[in-house]
Structure 1
Amino acid sequence: MRRSSWILTGSAVVLVAASAVTRFTVYPAVHQVPDGTKTTFRFEGTATLLNSKALGAGDLTKAFMTDLPVTLDRRVEVRDTNGRTAVVADGVVLSGRDGTKLNSSESIWAVDRRDLTERPAPAGSGAAKHEGLVISWPLEPERRDYRFWDTGIQKAVPARYDKTETVSGREAYVYVVKADGTLTDPATAKALPPALPRQVVAGLAAALPADRRPDAAVLAALPETVPLTYTSTTERRAWVDADTGLSLDGALHQTVLARTQGENGPVTLFPVTDVDVRGAEASVEKQADEAATTARLLWLMSTGGPLGLLVLGLMLAFLAVRSARRRTADGGGR
């Protein structure tokens, strides 16, 4: 076999092997949550909150900030990775439209780098226990139901596939999550009083709009010190990119209510928080652009690159065979 045939054959083998390596080694390594990832998504909407300054001053007539325009920034940062596990910081900051911080929280999770479900928490990571999805959706989402962790009630609830829509030119699967129950989030529950004087409860109730106040007779029948429990209700709607699993848009309505036990059953007294927000247009556009870029890269690594290398390798193999046959034919004719 001529030297050129050997070169063509060797090059063909290398290209075919590179095609396989790209598809089955490089692509899986790329197609997972990368170390050091930082994303921030902004929501906009309104909130009804207890006015801590007014409460501190004893002015119950201004106890609530009602329908306050707010922004909610959710920042997700991958702090460490180990194999299939990513340790992720999930921070939320609620602010007034003037930038005044109203509330904030941060949770640490250990998640699978591909399907985003729970993983065993690495030692010393501080990751909280959870089940199902918690920060985002699988990198290859499907038209089916999932389980989603609700921090308010500390339980996994169904995330139901609802329909498919288009968001900023991207195909998106729409999922709906609803959670309702006793507030068990340790950080939030710890900050709330277990009881209040009846006079304070009546004052808080009087500061509410008339259609939201508990019945006056029910309030009058409460004990001098009113024991309190709290409920958490969360409704989420997520628009998830069908190709990459990136969240393109979202809506969140989260309510924490103070309740007590009346003579005839549970009585809702007043809201602690009531936040109703939807993805800001700029964040939605940014996520759509990121999804388009990511989808092109994934196609190149999973299909375009391996297929191109394979075709080129086969072409070189064909040329090597044809060159060898010509050499054989030339030799046979001497």
Structure 2
Amino acid sequence: MRKIIGWVLLGLGAFLLVTGLLATVWAPGQVERTPLDVDSTTSLSGNADKLNPATGETEAIDVKATSITKADSKRSDDNVIVFVNTTCLVIDEGDVPDCVDADDPDARLVSATSDVFSTDRHDALAVNGKYLPAGAEEKEGLVNKFPFRTEKKDYPYWDGLVGAPVTAEYDSTDTLDGLAAYKFHILLDETPAEVVEGLQGTYSQDKFIWVEPITGAIVNQTQHETRTLDDGTLVLDLNLAFTEDEVAEGVSEAKDNKAQIDLVTGTLPLVGFIGGVLALLAGAFLVFASRKDEKA
């Protein structure tokens, strides 16, 4: 009986060691990549001083923004994921929907944009070329998330108004509802840009982004943005941030995804290697002991 148990333990030990090896070498490349079924809605709210082109006066308004990002699985592949994004910024008054038409009778639309972009599924950097439809804007740097295993360093982060990547500088480590997050800072001061379609001016941005480092997910964001014409006329002074519900949902999802990655890349290798070695030692001892008994 001891001999049989010994061989079973030897087999179990070998299985556990192989499992540990696979979890170390192969599994990270499978679980640490953006899934192809992304379909997310991000909600932000805030306030702004906005130039009313009809009156020439600056108006103080409350605003909300809704960003919908979906993966285009047909254009995506094992290494690159293609996204379709729509973003709408509206005046937050009454029972306003997430977006309104340009001819909304109450003139509640501030801006509406749509975009197609593609990123590497592992490091989250923009990828261009064959993945983009004709006419799509090519991008550089990070676009909608940070890489898996985000580090405490600076990253290039795409800014659509500038039309180029800007520096997201590591600022500090924060905690959001028990979740450790790296805080990054983007600071632009009076940068030349097309602040209104067809009109040049200066653009300033002071943005903070909180990132869960294992998944690279953005779990919170605040920004203060200003746009002025070349003659100094204020076009927009905007304060915008993730809503409380958005932060809570993002933190909860990041915790779940982080736990899955930690299980596959941390717990399984540990159990595999330690359990495998112990099972092999126990199995070898029982097999050796049973052979000694047979000879006695």
- Shift >6 Å, 4+ stretches: none
Distance 1:314 1:275 in 2: 59
Structure 2 counterpart of 1:114 = 122
Assess, with a 3 A threshold, how the Cα gap between structure 1 residues 51 and 268 changes in structure 2: closer, same or farther: closer
Structure 1 counterpart of 2:137 = 128
> How many residues align structurally?
278
Assess, with a 3 A threshold, how the Cα gap between structure 1 residues 49 and 33 changes in structure 2: closer, same or farther: same
> How does 1:268-279 map onto structure 2 within 5 Å?
268-271=232-235, 273-279=236-242
1:307 partner letter = L
Query: Could you tell me how far 1:51 is from its partner in structure 2?
Result: 4.0
Q: Any gaps of 5 or more consecutive residues in structure 2?
A: 101-108
Which of 72, 77, 94 lines up with 2:65 in the alignment?
72
1:160-201 CA distance string (max 9 Å, x none): 1122222222222211112343325xxx75x44xxxxxxxxx
Question: Is 1:90–1:106's contact at 8 Å kept on the other side of the alignment?
Answer: yes
2:193 partner letter = L
Structure 2 counterpart of 1:138 = 147
**Aligned-residue RMSD, C-alpha:** 2.4
Assess, with a 3 A threshold, how the Cα gap between structure 1 residues 116 and 124 changes in structure 2: closer, same or farther: closer
Distance 2:152 2:132 in 1: 36
**Aligned-partner SS, 1:183:** strand
Structure 2 counterpart of 1:197 = none
Structure 2 counterpart of 1:307 = 270
> How does 1:1-334 map onto structure 2 within 5 Å?
2=3, 4-51=5-52, 55=54, 60=55, 63-64=56-57, 66-80=59-73, 81-97=76-92, 98=94, 99-100=96-97, 101=100, 102=109, 103-126=111-134, 127-179=136-188, 180-184=190-194, 191-192=197-198, 229-259=200-230, 267-271=231-235, 273-333=236-296
Question: Is 1:90–1:135's contact at 8 Å kept on the other side of the alignment?
Answer: no
2:201 partner letter = Y
1:227-279 CA distance string (max 9 Å, x none): x53333322111112333221211122333222xxxxxxx22341x3321122
Question: Is 1:121–1:128's contact at 8 Å kept on the other side of the alignment?
Answer: no
Q: Any gaps of 5 or more consecutive residues in structure 1?
A: 193-227, 260-266
Question: Is 2:51–2:234's contact at 8 Å kept on the other side of the alignment?
Answer: no
Question: Is 2:118–2:132's contact at 8 Å kept on the other side of the alignment?
Answer: no
2:130 partner letter = P
**Aligned-partner SS, 1:156:** strand
Distance 1:170 1:121 in 2: 37
Query: Could you tell me how far 1:123 is from its partner in structure 2?
Result: 4.4
Structure 1 counterpart of 2:105 = none
Structure 1 stretch 135-144 or stretch 296-305: which is displaced more? 135-144
Assess, with a 3 A threshold, how the Cα gap between structure 1 residues 246 and 123 changes in structure 2: closer, same or farther: closer
Query: Could you tell me how far 1:11 is from its partner in structure 2?
Result: 2.8
Assess, with a 3 A threshold, how the Cα gap between structure 1 residues 251 and 229 changes in structure 2: closer, same or farther: same
1:299-329 CA distance string (max 9 Å, x none): 1000112222333322331232122112221
Larger of the two Rg values belongs to structure: 1
**Aligned-partner SS, 2:16:** helix
Kindly, what percent of the aligned residue pairs are identical? 20
Question: Is 1:110–1:122's contact at 8 Å kept on the other side of the alignment?
Answer: no
TM-score (norm 1): 0.75
1:140-166 CA distance string (max 9 Å, x none): 111111111211011222111122222
Distance 1:2 1:281 in 2: 61
Distance 1:66 1:149 in 2: 29
Query: Could you tell me how far 1:15 is from its partner in structure 2?
Result: 2.1
Distance 2:81 2:283 in 1: 47
Question: Is 2:7–2:287's contact at 8 Å kept on the other side of the alignment?
Answer: no
Distance 2:213 2:152 in 1: 9
Distance 2:91 2:72 in 1: 28
